């Protein structure tokens, strides 16, 4: 881009008449000057204008997205594409201008704002308007295919994603599980060509911004050189991998006992349909199959407790809200209750995958979720409210600092609360009469590990795949094969039926069609244990860490809130240290939490003479 074009854009894009202090006459005057004689841009003014403009556009794009996700039709698709196109085009222009500006005379805060402008985009559009329009349309279409996805068990029994997930969690019939597993993946086949085109266009946009590809852009968002980020992830994974391997070995052994050698071969990767989850990403639902045999009945089942106590979708959310208010956070606004989606509508298509929204960058916070009345969704509700509480806490930050310290932080906050939903808390809210004795501890830890530890390699492999797709190491001809190679390599799971390149299994996982980067969830699964350990200490808790609850702790709440309010105004190590006293992400807190379980798993595997690995 030439200097001339560069200036022309600044004046046309940052000076919208809808913004205060930006009269159309002024716009014309500047544009005219820019045409004749390029002036040095005042970087401060650039940042101010960009920030205002992005704030405005993000609100429009956000509202369009909300309507589309709650009401998927041709019309809402057209509108969300248009709003998304405008927003992305602006973001790309600002990112490219921000990179070209001389920042040497700027304050640290202003320099950081420029940095935010440079990295704000997920899928940058190419400059060519027709390509930019196409990229916006592709995103909408992919999202729509996922949201509308159904699998019909019979002609008049077509099931949505949450309904199919219930079968994956509760059925113990391997044939039925296989059928549902395979059926859901049919929805992704038509995504393949669209995804391929999306990758190509977004890469073109990334290249124009000075990145080698989209993956490099994604890796550049962590306050460290982009090439260091994969090493950071690898180091964390190496720390926790032995625990995953012990869990994998134990679970495969128990599944083998339950289903037999034909269904679960003792040395192979675990067939992915038997782990209680559509994507084999969290395995908590198969706890009854793998629960410790020596302490029958020592534990409890959260789904049963919720149902026995008459919880419904709304009271589940109210109970989750009470957790946050018990720590000193303000109640959710009335509009949250009026505008959120809690129950899957029967009369229209929606995107059911749970999400939390901040519609006006201030108080209009909402969730959108097709809640099922079970323990898993009780946890997810806390996860989503964690997002909303974070968003509200940083609402007084300037727009460019409205965000979490890094994206893993946003995903970790609600989960910190979920870690507190153990027996201690359940007794306090009257769901159980007395705390189970210490002999239940291994079961409780195992239940938790099936979700939190099993998730780790899944959280890692999704972007390993996508990074290689963006870099061209993985080509469309081997999208599916490479997906399963990574699944096997990291998770030790395998497809239960033969797959071919006519399939597009990545597309059956929400975050692929929705283009949501996934490393954030891996980080969150590490960070939440660091936060939890530090906040339990702040709450004055003494005892085994997995029994800690920060319910009612105003001290822990204040400490947490203090970090949330920072938004992304500081590099994430500062935010991390404000809670934990340490600037490093580390798997040690997670390992401490599960230390008794690790010992127990190794004993079990040894006693059963299991050969671990795959």
Q: For residue 329, how many C-alpha atoms fall within 13 Å in the half-sphere facing its CB?
A: 30
Beta bridge partners of 367: 356
* Shortest distance (Å) from residue 212 CB to ligand X8Z: 27
What is the distance between the alpha carbons of residues 266 and 611, in angstroms, rounded to a whole number? 8
User: Nearer to ligand X8Z by C-beta: 394 or 510?
Assistant: 510
Q: With contact defined as beta carbons under 8 Å apart, do 561 and 335 qualify?
A: no
Cα distances (angstroms) measured from residue 393 to each of 369, 563, 569: 22, 9, 13
User: Nearer to Zn ion by C-beta: 59 or 411?
Assistant: 411
* Shortest distance (Å) from residue 602 CB to ligand X8Z: 27
Q: Which stretch binds Zn ion (CB under 5 A): 192-200, 237-245, 389-397, 410-418?
A: 410-418
What is the distance between the alpha carbons of residues 126 and 135, in angstroms, rounded to a whole number? 9
525 annotated among ligand-binding-site residues: no
What is the distance between the alpha carbons of residues 212 and 220, in angstroms, rounded to a whole number? 11
* Shortest distance (Å) from residue 455 CB to ligand X8Z: 7
354 binds ligand X8Z (CB under 6 A): yes
Mark 257-296 with x for binding to ligand X8Z (rule: CB under 6 A) and - for no binding.
Answer: ------------------------x---------------
521 binds ligand X8Z (CB under 6 A): yes
Among residues 245, 384, 410, 570, the one annotated as catalytic is: 384
Angle at 48 between CA 43 and CA 52, to 5 degrees: 145
390 binds ligand X8Z (CB under 6 A): no
What is the distance between the alpha carbons of residues 3 and 332, in angstroms, rounded to a whole number? 48
User: Nearer to ligand X8Z by C-beta: 355 or 391?
Assistant: 355
What is the distance between the alpha carbons of residues 423 and 518, in angstroms, rounded to a whole number? 31
Interaction residues for Zn ion, span 411-440 (CB under 5 A): 411
Query: Is position 511 annotated as part of the catalytic site?
Result: yes
User: Nearer to Zn ion by C-beta: 269 or 386?
Assistant: 386
Determine the size of the site formed for Zn ion (CB under 5 A).
1
What is the distance between the alpha carbons of residues 397 and 399, in angstroms, rounded to a whole number? 6
Residue 355 interaction partner, one of ligand X8Z, Zn ion, none, beta carbon < 5-8 Å per kind: ligand X8Z
Figure out which of the listed residues 214, 316, 367, 380 binds ligand X8Z, where binding follows CB under 6 A.
380
Residue 593 interaction partner, one of Zn ion, ligand X8Z, none, beta carbon < 5-8 Å per kind: none
* Shortest distance (Å) from residue 411 CB to Zn ion: 5
- Chain centroid to CA 72: 22
Buried b (16+ CB within 10 A) or exposed e, 404-432: bbbbbbbbbbbbbbbbbbbbbbbeeeebb
Among residues 6, 197, 239, 511, the one annotated as catalytic is: 511
146 binds ligand X8Z (CB under 6 A): no
Q: For 566, which DSSP code?
A: T
User: Nearer to ligand X8Z by C-beta: 198 or 418?
Assistant: 418
Figure out which of the listed residues 277, 326, 355, 406 binds ligand X8Z, where binding follows CB under 6 A.
355
Closest among 192, 212, 207, 215 to 464, alpha carbons compared: 215
User: Nearer to ligand X8Z by C-beta: 98 or 272?
Assistant: 272
* Shortest distance (Å) from residue 383 CB to ligand X8Z: 6
User: Nearer to ligand X8Z by C-beta: 252 or 368?
Assistant: 368
Cβ count near 187 (within 10 Å): 20
467 binds ligand X8Z (CB under 6 A): no
493 binds ligand X8Z (CB under 6 A): no
* Shortest distance (Å) from residue 433 CB to Zn ion: 33
Residue 137 interaction partner, one of ligand X8Z, Zn ion, none, beta carbon < 5-8 Å per kind: none
In angstroms, the first-to-last Cα distance of the chain is: 52
Q: With contact defined as beta carbons under 8 Å apart, do 229 and 219 qualify?
A: yes
What is the distance between the alpha carbons of residues 517 and 396, in angstroms, rounded to a whole number? 26
What is the distance between the alpha carbons of residues 127 and 443, in angstroms, rounded to a whole number? 56
134 annotated among ligand-binding-site residues: no
319 binds ligand X8Z (CB under 6 A): no
45 annotated among ligand-binding-site residues: no
Q: With contact defined as beta carbons under 8 Å apart, do 423 and 388 qualify?
A: no
User: Nearer to ligand X8Z by C-beta: 81 or 281?
Assistant: 281
387 annotated among ligand-binding-site residues: yes
* Shortest distance (Å) from residue 413 CB to ligand X8Z: 11
What is the distance between the alpha carbons of residues 317 and 443, in angstroms, rounded to a whole number? 27
349 annotated among ligand-binding-site residues: no
Residue number of the CB closest to ligand X8Z reads 354
* Shortest distance (Å) from residue 514 CB to ligand X8Z: 9
Closest among 382, 421, 443 to 547, alpha carbons compared: 421
Beta bridge partners of 355: 368
Residue 70 interaction partner, one of ligand X8Z, Zn ion, none, beta carbon < 5-8 Å per kind: none
Q: With contact defined as beta carbons under 8 Å apart, do 202 and 124 qualify?
A: yes
Buried b (16+ CB within 10 A) or exposed e, 281-294: bbbbbbbebbbbee
Element (H, E) at 5: helix 3-13
Feature table: binding site for chloride: 222, 520
Feature table: binding site: 222, 383, 387, 411, 520
Interaction site with Zn ion (CB under 5 A) = 411
Q: Which residues are catalytic?
A: 384, 511
Feature table: binding site for Zn(2+): 383, 387, 411
Interaction site with ligand X8Z (CB under 6 A) = 281, 354-355, 380, 383, 521
């Amino acid at each position: 881009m030439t200097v001339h074009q560069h200036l022309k854009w600044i004046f046309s894009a940052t000076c919208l008449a809808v913004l205060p202090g930006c009269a159309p006459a002024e716009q014309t005057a500047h544009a005219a000057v820019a045409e004749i004689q390029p002036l040095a841009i005042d970087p401060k003014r650039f940042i101010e204008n960009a920030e205002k403009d992005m704030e405005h556009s993000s609100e429009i794009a956000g509202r369009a997205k909300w309507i589309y996700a709650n009401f998927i039709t041709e019309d809402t698709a057209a509108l969300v594409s248009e709003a998304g196109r405008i927003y992305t085009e602006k973001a790309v222009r600002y990112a490219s201008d921000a990179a070209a500006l001389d920042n040497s005379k700027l304050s640290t805060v202003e320099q950081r704002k420029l940095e935010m402008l440079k990295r704000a985009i997920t899928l940058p559009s190419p400059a060519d308007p027709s390509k930019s329009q196409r990229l916006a349309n592709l995103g909408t279409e992919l999202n729509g295919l996922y949201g509308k996805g159904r699998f019909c068990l019979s002609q008049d029994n077509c099931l949505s994603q949450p309904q199919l997930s219930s079968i994956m969690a509760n059925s113990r019939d391997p044939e039925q599980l296989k059928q549902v597993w395979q059926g859901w993946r049919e929805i992704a086949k038509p995504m393949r060509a669209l995804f391929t085109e999306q990758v190509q266009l977004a890469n073109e946009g990334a290249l124009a911004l000075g990145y080698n590809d989209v993956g490099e852009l994604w890796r550049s968002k962590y306050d460290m050189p982009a090439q260091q980020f994969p090493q950071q992830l690898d180091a964390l994974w190496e720390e926790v991998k032995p625990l995953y391997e012990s869990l994998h070995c134990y679970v495969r052994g128990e599944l083998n006992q339950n289903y037999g050698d034909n269904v679960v071969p003792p040395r192979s990767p675990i067939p992915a349909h038997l782990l209680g989850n559509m994507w084999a990403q969290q395995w908590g639902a198969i706890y009854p199959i793998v629960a410790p045999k020596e302490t029958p009945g020592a534990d409890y089942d959260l789904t049963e407790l919720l149902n026995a106590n008459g919880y419904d979708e709304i009271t589940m959310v109210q109970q989750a809200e009470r957790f946050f208010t018990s720590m000193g956070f303000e109640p959710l606004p009335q509009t949250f209750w009026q505008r959120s989606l809690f129950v899957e509508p029967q009369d229209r298509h929606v995107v059911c995958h749970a999400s939390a929204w901040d519609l006006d960058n201030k108080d209009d916070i909402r969730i959108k979720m097709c809640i099922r009345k079970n323990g898993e969704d009780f946890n997810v509700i806390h996860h989503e409210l964690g997002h909303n509480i974070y968003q509200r806490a940083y609402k007084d930050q300037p727009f460019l600092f409205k965000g979490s310290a890094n994206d893993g932080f946003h995903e970790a906050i609600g989960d910190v609360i979920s870690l507190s939903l153990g027996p201690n808390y359940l007794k306090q809210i009257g769901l159980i009469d007395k705390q189970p004795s210490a002999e239940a501890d291994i079961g409780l830890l195992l239940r938790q590990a099936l979700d939190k530890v099993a998730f780790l390699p899944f959280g890692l492999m999704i972007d390993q795949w996508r990074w290689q797709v963006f870099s061209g190491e993985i080509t469309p001809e081997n999208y599916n094969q490479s997906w399963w190679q990574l699944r096997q390599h990291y998770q030790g799971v395998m497809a239960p039926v033969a797959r071919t390149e006519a399939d597009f299994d990545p597309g059956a996982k929400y975050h692929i069609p929705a283009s949501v980067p996934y490393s954030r969830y891996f980080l969150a699964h590490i960070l939440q244990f660091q936060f939890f350990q530090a906040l339990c200490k702040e709450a004055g808790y003494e005892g085994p860490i997995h029994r800690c609850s920060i319910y009612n702790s105003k001290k822990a709440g204040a400490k947490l809130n203090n970090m949330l309010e920072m938004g992304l105004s500081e590099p994430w190590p500062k935010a991390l240290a404000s809670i934990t006293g340490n600037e490093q992400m580390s798997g040690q807190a997670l390992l401490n939490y599960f230390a008794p379980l690790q010992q127990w798993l190794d004993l079990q595997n040894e006693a059963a003479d299991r050969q671990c690995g795959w």
